[in-house]
Structure 1
């Protein structure tokens, strides 16, 4: 039998109740779909443009029930509707041809907003009522012939008032029979493809014979008449008689929909309460993928143990599978309930059909399938369970590096699915299993589909995770690799949030409105800024602007390597701590020493910044067993001319215990000792102050030149300048100046043939200049590339110095190693400034953060020059340096 007349025998009030019940069970709309088809075929070209616009927008609202009222205002959404879905489904072609595209689009947008607040069933009933004002939608008209000795061509009208004939449009319908008079219905095919519908009428000597153009049309009329007979008469069963067996009645017709249809809900809708806050239904009519070949396992080889959880179609068990070699394998067994419908069983099996063709180290492995009832899917069991629960349990011990590793592994799995044209559609931490603390695997392919040569997959009647979905998936049920990219970024957000549900503060119905406004998930606290920037790229509203998984694998690999290098650097710094600058809440002067009651501390003259103090390492403290004399401590600026440290330049000093102080014999001797100590401390402070002023003047000169290469090749001495805000040196002029402090010397003029240290310093300077020139043109995520280039160049420089170090005098190694550590600290500072620049890329602090980034890179280049000077000095002492060739 055909579908056209199955439900048209419903009166309007019962049709409304049937529609409401159907909306509750999330089933398709057979009445509305049939009426819509009739409208598009018979009436669409006849109604006014206003009515056609209303009916088309009502159908749009019903079809895309989750779309917000302003979704079609976006050009990309409307173009997707035009190209991917097609306006022909909703509006007559004649109307599209008569109106200009821009005008037609504006009319649709305005009319659609009027119906944005309507629910699905309200759209259907308004469609009914609107069309009923134009046509008699509660009756069907068929062009056929009455066989009464001779054939009369008439329009046969079948409706609530019975079977009537209409000989002309102006004539009144003539009643041929009422439904309560009909006793039997029979369809007889003819040889020429036509058919005869015979109705047995109570009290009539012969049946009413109606000749139709096809057997399908006769069967549609029979279904319609039979429905009215059961509705209006006292017949419980069908009156249709099978054409080959007279005594057998047809029993394939659907039952008459009653006012309360709650009992007709499917088993799927009863089980839909699971995770109802995560999954929401988006119905649609589309094709289903058939099951694949056998992947059989004998049920006796599988032993079920405890229940791990409950899935969409049934329970998930822990079990043991004994393979053909006799080996016991721990497995997870997904079961399908015995009373599951054939349609749901097919959906359940589709996961196994997809999984058996997948082979990737970060995708759950399928062991086998048992297709006989009850159906089982057997997969590998992973002891750590779901990633979401694992993150919650271990959030205090998991490091960011591990979280980035998990994201990278899932991204590699998705890149594999992308290569075989498969969309997953449910990427979330609940569907990722932890195989080991360093390995995760993607699973749960129940929603996955192959898109083959098509551009996208259109969702069928199923429950979908709204809060993880892209706007085009929510609005148009459109699923592509680009929509998987969106979901993957949401999954990364879950991982960096230790399993929090995205948009947990919103209901499913409110998510699309937030996304349409441009709002996105906030940055998790521990998420690196560069990784969050990558997430926002994946959340671009336009699917074509999102990166592909192959690109994401490369980006995540770089981020993972950077996090790994930073972790190693932090571990090294933990062993070799560098001086830290601390800023207390209030500046506190050190208390006077108890053994020297008359000692008054000298005024503190901090030339770096007010209220800053240094946390000095143990080796530079007064209580240290060995203290380098300030007179002999080398400065990086003058390292080339600083004599090497010899044993006599270092003096021993005992710890400052009370009994170790020299006790004066008289008051005069104590006063002399105190004056001598004051003069010595003043000399030390004067020298340090003068050194800092000279160093600052040199740094300012370097900043003016900006290119350290200019300075390296410039042999003219620099003229000190007075700087506003810095103290002018007012120490006693008769003091001899510090060695090498008279002028800043250029890089030594040596033979640079095969000088790897010199070449690597030049390469580092060029990398810093590239960073300076490209920083303003790069997007925030591009900062990593130029900073990584600087880091790799610095690594080569330090490696070349390490190779040369064994051949240099041991007295020079301390300064060289200290400068190497300083360079590593400079690189860490550059990375920190880069992160700040990325994090504040869209704020008012963007330019300031970039400036700090440039300053950090310049400091790195200057310290690299100092390292070259120290190496040159050591080479001269070791007789390894040669003058340049003439």
Structure 2
């Protein structure tokens, strides 16, 4: 864990509530200290030891423990046989074999390890045993009677180990008689420790069930019934029904073969057979079988199907064979032909499989492209349930010491080995990143030990090149440090379904545009050259004496600017040949551009008709440009009028600015072509020419515009935590504006109140949207989406300013109707 792991509130709460501080600190200490002081003390102490390596932590623990307990010696309650039996506490440690008659007395040395020449263990009646230790120079051996065979065996191995460490003996001093503990030839010595006595599988399982029931409910394991043999009637198959072919690969427990299974109906099925190595321990075999135990209860179209299991040695797990292999290799081989739509489909299918596992309280713990199989180019299936575990509601599985995929794991899984559905959500997002990166390993530029430090700092995987921004935003939600803030798989299925539908609609539209292209007009040679482009005068920026912001060039709303990205997008600027077609609205807001079909165009039959079409098109374009020029002039005049109304003294010494009509070299073709109005957006009219003396609504609108301009100018220089300040300034200014409108509202006609109140509600929604975009920008400040989030934040602030201007216009109209407005004196 990094040194600052406990600085995060979620980690400390996990340690306090889930693990428990009672394991580390006395109850009295926790009660005497204040919670804040106690937490600070824990954090400071943890930082002192966080830099230690694992071996150093172990040595530090034993050095600390040695000050409270004798950890370098073991005490056995036994009897010394010296003509009569004396019950003593026998102490075996580095100083030799000693006896302790009472707690206050000093231990008496019975033998030193360098003088011991033989060790013999004999079995007595009623399960008792005698340990005989031959001592050099002593007339008789030291005989020690124990209450059980296991205790005598333990003492013999402990003494033999000390003799090898401190003496010159290279081999064991234990002598095995024919009868007794070690049934080998008399006088023969062994050079290794005795094997640990084990029970067979059938007699051991009841003990496992009892031990599982004793443990805490928090440390959930697979339910007891899953420890029985899974080879029931429906999954137990005969070995002669399976024929093995070539090796597909090698797993953790053994090889994976391609084979053919013959069912009871005589049907031949291609299968993949997982085998378990013959030299695996009993514990490893049980873990191998546990995968089949979990898989036999799963039934989902995107989860690998279990055919059967052969539990007799050697153990085989037989599953469906998918010819395309692992998804990781499939992505690498086909990355040049796979489309984003297909990659999103793969992510959606795996998400559905994980939602199914979530519904049955099962955590997978190893979601990665290496564990996903490709059944067909349009279907993938989740497999490899070797690390999967069942959990109860509101609980988690705590992993034992085992090999885990660090680079795919969530912070709480790395720090505390804590696995929940939320940690599976994190791993699923990493798997989506793998899919969109065509099989690249996450954090391939880091070592396993460095990953947690990167995650603790807030860094996340970068956006893949082909990943849609909305999908990467969903990934970042899944990578929230707080597990409770991550979405559930049921929510992810809905979000991914929408994203998939959006990508599908875009792909269909692109395919249709590529398929239906308008026929080319066969023009005469004289008309193939485009008309000469008219010259444009140099742009003259407005004077730099702007009151609102010195750096601001103009304050025309973005919707009126020719450079507005939304207005100049292809879907909102129709070409002359298809301007009569209106783009339909789509449920996913995918605006489509209608291509011209062959039946929509009448092919010219002669040169004269082609010339007439060309002249008609030029006339129509000229009309569009004249209308656009007129609109630009009106916008420019409104802008100048608004700037003068802010402070007339600014322009006292300034000559009247040149209007577009008076600029030298200005022609009717200077402006860009006319922009049609955006869907759902009304063109903004100039502010009424009224007397603004003591007009609080007008003054507050201007103050709100200044606040928005300050936000736009300062956003790029501010750190993420500074966004709150500028947004708060906008919110306070908006509150003053709405309060001034509320004060004026009773004096206005009732017919105008509905429009004004609706505009007020719209402003509140605009502020809420600005706050949401601010939070999104803060969350993605260190990701590749930072600039996109800032742009959305600026768009939201612009919308707020435009709606404030609309509120001012509505109030002005109401005041005119109520005869409360005074025209501006000439």
Bucket of the pairwise TM-score, normalised by the shorter protein: 0.5 to 0.7
> Deviation digits for residues 624-655 of structure 1, max 9, x if unmatched?
99999999999999999999999999999999
CA distance in 2, matches of 1:175, 1:725: 115
Higher RCO (CA 8 Å, separation ≥ 6 residues): 1
Relative to structure 1, the CA distance from residue 294 to residue 840 in structure 2 (aligned partners, 3 Å threshold; closer, same or farther) is closer
Moved more, 322-331 or 97-106: 97-106
Moved more, 278-287 or 120-129: 278-287
Relative to structure 1, the CA distance from residue 701 to residue 314 in structure 2 (aligned partners, 3 Å threshold; closer, same or farther) is farther
CA drift of 1:502 comes to 0.8
Relative to structure 1, the CA distance from residue 410 to residue 799 in structure 2 (aligned partners, 3 Å threshold; closer, same or farther) is farther
Taking only aligned residues, the RMSD between alpha carbons, in angstroms, comes to 14.8
Moved more, 496-505 or 68-77: 68-77
> Deviation digits for residues 137-192 of structure 1, max 9, x if unmatched?
43333455556566656443323443323345665533334557778878899999
CA drift of 1:362 comes to 0.3
Relative to structure 1, the CA distance from residue 821 to residue 393 in structure 2 (aligned partners, 3 Å threshold; closer, same or farther) is farther
Conservation of the 8 A alpha-carbon contact between 2:295 and 2:305: yes
CA distance in 2, matches of 1:556, 1:626: 26
Q: Secondary structure at the match of 1:83?
A: helix
CA distance in 2, matches of 1:134, 1:623: 76
> Deviation digits for residues 16-67 of structure 1, max 9, x if unmatched?
xxxxxxxxxxxxxxxxxxxxxxxxxxxxxxxxxxxxxxxxxxxxxxxxxxx2
Relative to structure 1, the CA distance from residue 337 to residue 617 in structure 2 (aligned partners, 3 Å threshold; closer, same or farther) is same
CA drift of 1:522 comes to 0.9
User: Which residue of 2 is the match for residue 587 of structure 1?
Assistant: 527
CA distance in 2, matches of 1:651, 1:555: 19
Q: Secondary structure at the match of 1:305?
A: strand
Moved more, 362-371 or 694-703: 694-703
Relative to structure 1, the CA distance from residue 716 to residue 878 in structure 2 (aligned partners, 3 Å threshold; closer, same or farther) is farther
Conservation of the 8 A alpha-carbon contact between 1:274 and 1:312: no
Report how many aligned residue pairs link the two structures: 820
CA distance in 2, matches of 1:454, 1:734: 60
CA drift of 1:464 comes to 1.4
> Deviation digits for residues 187-208 of structure 1, max 9, x if unmatched?
8999999987676778878775
CA distance in 1, matches of 2:591, 2:444: 66
CA distance in 2, matches of 1:282, 1:651: 50
CA drift of 1:401 comes to 1.9
> Deviation digits for residues 60-116 of structure 1, max 9, x if unmatched?
xxxxxxx22322232322332333334444555565566555444434433333333
Which of residues 402, 409, 427 in structure 1 aligns to 2:367? 427
Q: Secondary structure at the match of 1:157?
A: strand
Structure 1: runs of 5+ lacking an equivalent: 1-66
> Deviation digits for residues 816-862 of structure 1, max 9, x if unmatched?
99999999999999999999999989999999989989999999999
Relative to structure 1, the CA distance from residue 127 to residue 676 in structure 2 (aligned partners, 3 Å threshold; closer, same or farther) is closer
User: Which residue of 2 is the match for residue 521 of structure 1?
Assistant: 461
CA distance in 2, matches of 1:868, 1:641: 35
Relative to structure 1, the CA distance from residue 580 to residue 751 in structure 2 (aligned partners, 3 Å threshold; closer, same or farther) is farther
CA distance in 2, matches of 1:158, 1:715: 105
CA drift of 1:489 comes to 0.3
Conservation of the 8 A alpha-carbon contact between 2:516 and 2:595: no
Please identify the structure whose Cα radius of gyration is greater. 1
Moved more, 295-304 or 326-335: 295-304
Moved more, 864-873 or 707-716: 707-716
Conservation of the 8 A alpha-carbon contact between 1:607 and 1:726: no
Relative to structure 1, the CA distance from residue 730 to residue 382 in structure 2 (aligned partners, 3 Å threshold; closer, same or farther) is closer
Relative to structure 1, the CA distance from residue 563 to residue 166 in structure 2 (aligned partners, 3 Å threshold; closer, same or farther) is same
CA distance in 1, matches of 2:35, 2:781: 40
Conservation of the 8 A alpha-carbon contact between 2:583 and 2:592: no
> Deviation digits for residues 449-478 of structure 1, max 9, x if unmatched?
222467122223422111101111111211
Moved more, 808-817 or 191-200: 808-817
Relative to structure 1, the CA distance from residue 798 to residue 360 in structure 2 (aligned partners, 3 Å threshold; closer, same or farther) is farther
CA drift of 1:385 comes to 1.8
Conservation of the 8 A alpha-carbon contact between 1:227 and 1:256: no
**Is 1:165 aligned to 2:99, yes or no?**
yes
Conservation of the 8 A alpha-carbon contact between 1:582 and 1:614: no
CA drift of 1:551 comes to 1.4
CA drift of 1:541 comes to 1.1
> Deviation digits for residues 334-353 of structure 1, max 9, x if unmatched?
22233333332222222222
CA drift of 1:696 comes to 11
Q: Secondary structure at the match of 1:228?
A: helix
Relative to structure 1, the CA distance from residue 345 to residue 777 in structure 2 (aligned partners, 3 Å threshold; closer, same or farther) is farther
Conservation of the 8 A alpha-carbon contact between 2:72 and 2:94: yes
Moved more, 642-651 or 381-390: 642-651
Conservation of the 8 A alpha-carbon contact between 1:143 and 1:156: yes
Moved more, 274-283 or 493-502: 274-283
Moved more, 442-451 or 645-654: 645-654
Relative to structure 1, the CA distance from residue 216 to residue 485 in structure 2 (aligned partners, 3 Å threshold; closer, same or farther) is same
CA distance in 2, matches of 1:661, 1:195: 106
> Deviation digits for residues 584-627 of structure 1, max 9, x if unmatched?
99999966699999999999999999999999999999999999
Conservation of the 8 A alpha-carbon contact between 1:584 and 1:612: no
User: Which residue of 2 is the match for residue 296 of structure 1?
Assistant: 236
Moved more, 691-700 or 799-808: 799-808
Relative to structure 1, the CA distance from residue 407 to residue 655 in structure 2 (aligned partners, 3 Å threshold; closer, same or farther) is closer
Q: Secondary structure at the match of 1:192?
A: helix
CA drift of 1:657 comes to 26
Conservation of the 8 A alpha-carbon contact between 2:517 and 2:596: no
Moved more, 416-425 or 673-682: 673-682
CA drift of 1:672 comes to 20
Relative to structure 1, the CA distance from residue 483 to residue 190 in structure 2 (aligned partners, 3 Å threshold; closer, same or farther) is same
CA drift of 1:536 comes to 0.9
CA drift of 1:570 comes to 4.0
Moved more, 437-446 or 101-110: 101-110
TM-score by structure 2 length?
A: 0.59
Relative to structure 1, the CA distance from residue 570 to residue 591 in structure 2 (aligned partners, 3 Å threshold; closer, same or farther) is closer
Moved more, 596-605 or 204-213: 596-605
Conservation of the 8 A alpha-carbon contact between 1:185 and 1:198: yes
Moved more, 416-425 or 836-845: 836-845
CA distance in 2, matches of 1:118, 1:735: 66
> Deviation digits for residues 201-225 of structure 1, max 9, x if unmatched?
7887877565668776666445534
Which of residues 693, 702, 715 in structure 2 aligns to 1:775? 715
Relative to structure 1, the CA distance from residue 617 to residue 722 in structure 2 (aligned partners, 3 Å threshold; closer, same or farther) is closer
Relative to structure 1, the CA distance from residue 323 to residue 505 in structure 2 (aligned partners, 3 Å threshold; closer, same or farther) is same
**Is 1:570 aligned to 2:510, yes or no?**
yes
Q: Secondary structure at the match of 1:854?
A: helix
Q: Secondary structure at the match of 2:197?
A: coil
Moved more, 394-403 or 241-250: 241-250
CA drift of 1:387 comes to 1.4
> Deviation digits for residues 639-693 of structure 1, max 9, x if unmatched?
9999999999999999999999999999999999999999999999767856887
Conservation of the 8 A alpha-carbon contact between 1:627 and 1:650: no
> Deviation digits for residues 688-715 of structure 1, max 9, x if unmatched?
8568879999999999999999999999
CA drift of 1:379 comes to 1.5
Q: Secondary structure at the match of 1:434?
A: strand
TM-score by structure 1 length?
A: 0.56
Conservation of the 8 A alpha-carbon contact between 2:477 and 2:486: yes
Moved more, 437-446 or 820-829: 820-829
> Deviation digits for residues 418-465 of structure 1, max 9, x if unmatched?
111111111111111111221111111122122246712222342211
Conservation of the 8 A alpha-carbon contact between 1:185 and 1:240: yes
Conservation of the 8 A alpha-carbon contact between 1:319 and 1:331: yes
CA drift of 1:550 comes to 1.2
Relative to structure 1, the CA distance from residue 569 to residue 823 in structure 2 (aligned partners, 3 Å threshold; closer, same or farther) is farther
CA distance in 2, matches of 1:176, 1:733: 108
Q: Secondary structure at the match of 2:572?
A: coil
Relative to structure 1, the CA distance from residue 880 to residue 361 in structure 2 (aligned partners, 3 Å threshold; closer, same or farther) is farther
> Deviation digits for residues 496-544 of structure 1, max 9, x if unmatched?
1121111111111111110011100111122122211111111111112
CA distance in 1, matches of 2:593, 2:475: 58
Conservation of the 8 A alpha-carbon contact between 1:697 and 1:721: no
Conservation of the 8 A alpha-carbon contact between 1:627 and 1:653: no
> Deviation digits for residues 839-886 of structure 1, max 9, x if unmatched?
989999999989989999999999999999999999999999999999
Conservation of the 8 A alpha-carbon contact between 2:547 and 2:647: no
> Deviation digits for residues 325-366 of structure 1, max 9, x if unmatched?
222222222222333333322222222221122110001111
User: Which residue of 2 is the match for residue 853 of structure 1?
Assistant: 793
Conservation of the 8 A alpha-carbon contact between 1:322 and 1:328: yes
CA drift of 1:269 comes to 28
CA distance in 1, matches of 2:516, 2:693: 35
